[in-house]
């Protein structure tokens, strides 16, 4: 039996990813540019180093756009879209079940602390987490394993004693590199992406018995799922 769960945040606990993609898509269309999912997916679950959707129109396409105003407009639209979002199905049950079972609960996210604090308070779930590791706490974010390694250390657990809950390829790569088994619950956006590491994939946690994760039963026939 496992001793802990480590959750990703964006796209996993709450679906911020679909709202971001929609906000950027709409902003790009105003400038007659198509933002493909393939292009946008490179920055999901990681930093904006490989593809920065805030700057691409200006730096790569050389469009005459005010960066500050563009960023402000995208964030405003994202906030509007997020007003109707709640925790994803099954998440609350898993948090309650993990607490009741005496498991340690961690968070490993490539987002910064201010972003996480905002939604932790909005969703009222902060008290569930024994350890919160963000981009502010590490040198390298996902797909590097550092966030998961730090979370494991913080929780006092070995990799084989915990399970990661993720939604993105970069997140599952990070979990696998840190030695954790991973349950993947893709959202509307990440469900179309290719996963290259073994994991147990399911539409939502509400479709996966908590005891099957607790006892690792769901990983017995785990293989490479894409």
What are the per-10-residue average pLDDT scores of the chain (226 residues)? Answer: 96 90 95 90 72 90 93 93 89 98 97 92 94 97 97 98 95 96 92 88 94 93 51
In the chain, how many H helices and how many E strands? 9, 6
Catalytic residue among 8, 137, 167, 181: 8
Task: Please give the pLDDT value at position 224.
Answer: 43
Residue 214 phi, psi (nearest 5): -55, -40
- Listed by start position, the domains of the chain span 4-15+86-219, 16-82
- Please count the other Cβ atoms lying within 10 Å of the Cβ belonging to residue 96: 12
Task: Please give the pLDDT value at position 189.
Answer: 85
Taking alpha carbons only, the member of 119, 113, 163, 171 closest to residue 147 is 171
**Residue 221: active-site member:** no
> Is 197:176 a contact under the CB 8 Å cutoff?
yes
DSSP calls for 102-152: T-EEEEE-SS-HHHHHHHHHHHT-GGG-SEEE-GGG-SS-TTSTHHHHHHH
Catalytic residue among 10, 144, 167, 181: 10
**Fold held by 4-15+86-219:** Rossmann fold (3.40.50)
| 3-state SS, residue 101 | coil
Cα 116 to its chain centre, rounded Å, is 11
Taking alpha carbons only, the member of 52, 40, 44 closest to residue 184 is 44
The pTM for the full model equals 0.86
> Is 47:135 a contact under the CB 8 Å cutoff?
yes
**Residue 8: active-site member:** yes
Q: Report the alpha-carbon distance of residue 184 to residue 201 in Å, rounded.
A: 5
């Amino acid at each position: 039996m496992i001793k802990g769960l480590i959750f990703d945040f964006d796209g996993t606990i709450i679906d911020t990813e679909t709202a971001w993609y929609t906000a950027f898509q709409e902003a790009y269309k105003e400038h007659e540019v198509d933002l493909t999912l393939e292009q946008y997916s490179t920055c999901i679950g990681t930093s904006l180093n490989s593809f920065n959707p805030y700057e691409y129109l200006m730096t790569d396409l050389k469009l005459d756009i005010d960066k500050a105003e563009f960023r402000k407009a995208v964030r405003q639209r994202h906030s509007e879209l997020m007003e109707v979002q709640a925790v994803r199905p099954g998440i609350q049950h898993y948090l309650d079940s993990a607490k009741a079972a005496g498991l340690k609960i961690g968070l490993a996210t490539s987002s910064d602390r201010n972003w996480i604090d905002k939604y932790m308070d909005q969703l009222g779930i902060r008290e569930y987490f024994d350890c919160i590791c963000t981009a502010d706490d590490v040198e390298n974010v996902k797909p590097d394993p550092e966030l998961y390694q730090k979370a494991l250390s913080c929780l006092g657990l070995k990799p084989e004693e915990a399970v990661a809950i993720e939604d993105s390829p970069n997140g599952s790569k990070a979990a696998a590199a840190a030695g954790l088994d991973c349950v993947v619950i893709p959202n509307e956006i990440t469900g179309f992406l290719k996963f290259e590491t073994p994991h147990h994939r399911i539409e939502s946690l509400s479709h996966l018995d908590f005891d099957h994760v607790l006892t690792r039963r769901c990983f017995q026939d785990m293989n490479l799922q894409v």
